[in-house]
């Protein structure tokens, strides 16, 4: 779903209705799971064109995602890899996304937006995100786009411990002196700055 064009469309004359339909798919865990909910709903409706039209969803984008899914399943079958669904354990999907995009992790900044963990850049949740009004403490994103601000697109809520577990050479738990038990669990420091030479 991340490899396809925009899944939702928003015609000017039906903008409010399109927003309401899109909101039905919103998942508290973020945009990746929102996109998964859209795909699964399309599948449950037998890949219907009418369903796409009624829900302001780009059928072409979903068909492209379906093609990519078939390719991935083919690769997995050739390599005799087990194909397992997460079922209702969506935390497994979030953790997998975190392990793949750990360099794109960000933490909410008390003063302004979010700060990326790698280079402390100020970034913001894109208004089109399903979690725009949530403002979670920790997240990772698929890409940054610059318009009036540096916005994060395709965002996933994460648990900070996943960063240490999935990238222990990149992140470590921070100094816990004088931190409460809750803060100890959330204190993470990056070990690497992408703008510096590794041995400097």
pLDDT at 180: 46
Q: Which residues contact 170 (CB under 8 A, 6 or more apart)?
A: 102, 103, 163, 190, 191, 192
What is the pairing mode between strands 188-190 and 171-173? Answer: antiparallel
pLDDT band at 187 (very low <50, low <70, confident <90, very high): low
CA-to-CA distance for 164 and 65, rounded, in angstroms? 31
pLDDT at 5: 73
Stretch 29-52: mean pLDDT: 97
Residue owning tokens 């309401």: 20
Averaged pLDDT score across all residues of the chain: 88
pLDDT of 58-111, one tens digit each?
999 999 999 999 999 999 999 999 988 888 889 999 999 999 999 999 999 999
Long-range contacts of 171-176 (CB under 8 A, 24+ apart): 171/102, 171/117
pTM of the model: 0.82
CA-to-CA distance for 153 and 144, rounded, in angstroms? 6
pLDDT of 132-143, one tens digit each?
999 999 999 999
pLDDT of 104-113, one tens digit each?
999 999 999 9
What is the pairing mode between strands 138-146 and 114-116? Answer: unpaired
pLDDT at 84: 84
CA-to-CA distance for 62 and 65, rounded, in angstroms? 5
């Amino acid at each position: 779903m991340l490899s396809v064009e925009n899944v939702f469309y928003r015609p000017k004359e039906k903008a409010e209705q399109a927003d309401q339909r899109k909101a039905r798919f919103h998942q508290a865990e973020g945009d990746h799971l929102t996109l998964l909910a859209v795909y699964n709903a399309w599948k449950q409706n037998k890949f219907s064109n009418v369903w796409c039209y009624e829900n302001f969803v780009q059928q072409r984008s979903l068909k492209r995602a379906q093609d990519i899914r078939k390719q991935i399943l083919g690769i997995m079958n050739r390599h005799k890899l087990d194909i397992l669904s997460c079922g209702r354990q969506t935390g497994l999907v979030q953790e997998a996304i975190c392990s793949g995009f750990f360099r794109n992790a960000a933490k909410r900044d008390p003063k302004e937006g979010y700060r990326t963990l790698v280079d402390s850049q100020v970034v913001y949740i894109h208004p089109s995100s399903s979690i725009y009004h949530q403002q979670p403490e920790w997240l990772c994103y698929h890409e940054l786009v610059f318009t009036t601000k540096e916005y994060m697109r395709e965002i996933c809520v994460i648990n900070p411990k996943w960063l240490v577990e999935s990238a222990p050479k990149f992140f470590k738990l921070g100094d816990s002196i004088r931190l409460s038990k809750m803060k100890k669990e959330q204190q993470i420091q990056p070990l690497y700055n992408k703008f510096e030479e590794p041995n400097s």
